[in-house]
Amino acid sequence: MREYTYGPFQSRRLKLSLGIDILPKCKKCTFDCVYCEIGTTEKNQLVSPEYRIKAPPSHGFRKELISILKHVPHLQSITFGYNGEPTLNENILEFLEIAINVRNEMKWIQEKPKLTLFTNSSTLYSKEIRERVMQFDLILAKLEAATDMDFKRTNRPHKDVPDIETIIDSLIKLKREMPENNELAIQCLFFNSYRDDFIPNDNPKNIEKVAHAIKRIKPDLVQIYSIARIPAQYYVFAIDEERKQQIVKKFRNILKNDSIKVNYY
C-alpha cells in the first residue's frame, strides 16, 4: 500500500505526472476554495499560513518512489502537492532531496522529469518559505483573484492569510529570487456560478486585475483552466472553451510580453 504517491496520471498541464502528497494523513490548508476538487476544508483543517507540520519522510518514501519510477522511464513530472498546502510541512526539503537523488539514479528515455510544486501562494510572504520553494524546477503558484472581494469569495482564506496585494508582492519577490533555470507558472482557475447572489471570479474587473498582477510578476508561464471534477460547492461550475480563449486574448493584450506564455487547458 502506498503512503505518499498517487498516479502516474496524465495531467492537463504537466503531461505524465507522478503525484507526491506530503500531507497524507489529513488535509491542512490555508484556503477553503469554493471550487476545490478534493472537497471542503473543514474548520479543523483550515489553518493559518504560520501553521507548520513536522512530518518528515518515513524510511519507506525512497523505496516507494523507486518501486514506481522504474516502471515509467518516460515520466515528465514528479509533482508535490495534493491534500492541502504542501509548504506547511517543515520537512518539505527532505522529501525534495530524496526525490532528487532517486531521479538522478534512474534511467530516463528522454529528459529527467521536472520536480514540480503546487502552492496556493498564501505562505510565500515568508522569505524562508520562498527559499524552500525556489529549489523546485517548476513552481505552479495559484493566483485567480486580484481584488480582495474576489479573493475572499473564491478562496475563502483563513483569517491570518495576508491580503491579496501582499500575495502578489510575494510572487514578484519569488520570481526575482529564483534561480535562472527554474520556472514559475501562475495558475488561474476561473469558474462561473449558478447563484445570482454569488459573483464568480470570471468577472471582467477581476480578470483585468489578475492580468495586471501577472504583468508585474513576470512569470515564465500562465495556465488558464477551469473546474474538471466535482467542486466543493454545488453552485460553481466550469467555464467553456470559448470563454477560456477570450480570457487568453485579454491577458495577452494586457501583458504585451511574448516571453510570458499564456496557455489554456
- pLDDT for the residue 12: 81
* Mean of pLDDT values over 57-68: 96
Q: Which residues are registered as beta bridge partners of 179?
A: none
What is the pTM (predicted TM-score) of this model? 0.95
Q: 257-262 long-range contacts, Cβ below 8 Å, gap at least 24?
A: 257/215, 257/218, 259/220, 260/214, 260/218, 260/219, 260/220, 260/221, 260/222, 261/220, 261/221, 261/222, 262/221, 262/222, 262/224
pLDDT in tens, 79-130: 999 889 999 999 999 999 999 999 999 999 989 999 999 999 999 999 999 9
* Mean of pLDDT values over 237-253: 98
- pLDDT for the residue 123: 98
**What CATH number should be reported for the domain whose range is 5-264?**
3.20.20.70
Q: Name residue, grid cell 534561480.
A: 179
pLDDT in tens, 20-54: 999 977 889 999 999 999 999 999 999 999 999 99
Average pLDDT, the chain: 96
- pLDDT for the residue 143: 98
Residue 160: count other Cβ atoms within 10 Å of its Cβ. 12
- pLDDT for the residue 77: 98
pLDDT in tens, 186-227: 999 999 999 999 999 999 999 999 999 999 999 999 999 999
Q: Name residue, grid cell 491570518.
A: 160
Q: β-pairing, 5-11 with 15-20?
A: antiparallel
- pLDDT for the residue 25: 78
